[in-house]
Amino acid sequence: MPYNCSQCGKCFIKHGNFVIHQRTHTRLKPYECPECGKRFARIHTGEKCFECPDCGKRFNQNSTLVNHQRTHTGEKPFQCPDCGKCFNQNSHLVIHKRIHTGEKPFE
């Protein structure tokens, strides 16, 4: 069930991401640093809770682990519609597609 932001129309699959996004509109900062008292919208501990079952490497986000696991499986689920070349990450496909369009965003 997708979660739609009534303020800007953005859509989220995960409720947690939707809740974090809503704070951008409300400017809510519920987390306070115990050291300095400064307030933040998000909290992180630096823990790397997601472990690769193949090599033991650890990650702080599950999505990063999923991308990493493709190095072991060889999975390349993102295919270029123009030439058929496949990539293990969508961001790599986006960069590749510039070959076909001639786009040079950093010039």
Question: Structural domains in the chain?
Answer: 76-106 (3.30.160)
Please write the tens of the pLDDT for every residue from 59-78.
888 889 999 999 999 999 99
Confidence band for 43, pLDDT divided at 50, 70 and 90? confident
Please give the mean pLDDT across all residues of the chain: 87
Query: Is the separation of the CB atoms in 31 and 41 below 8 Å?
Result: yes
Q: 36-49 burial, b if ≥16 CB within 10 A, otherwise e?
A: eeeeeeeeeeeeee
Question: What is the reported pLDDT for 102?
Answer: 87
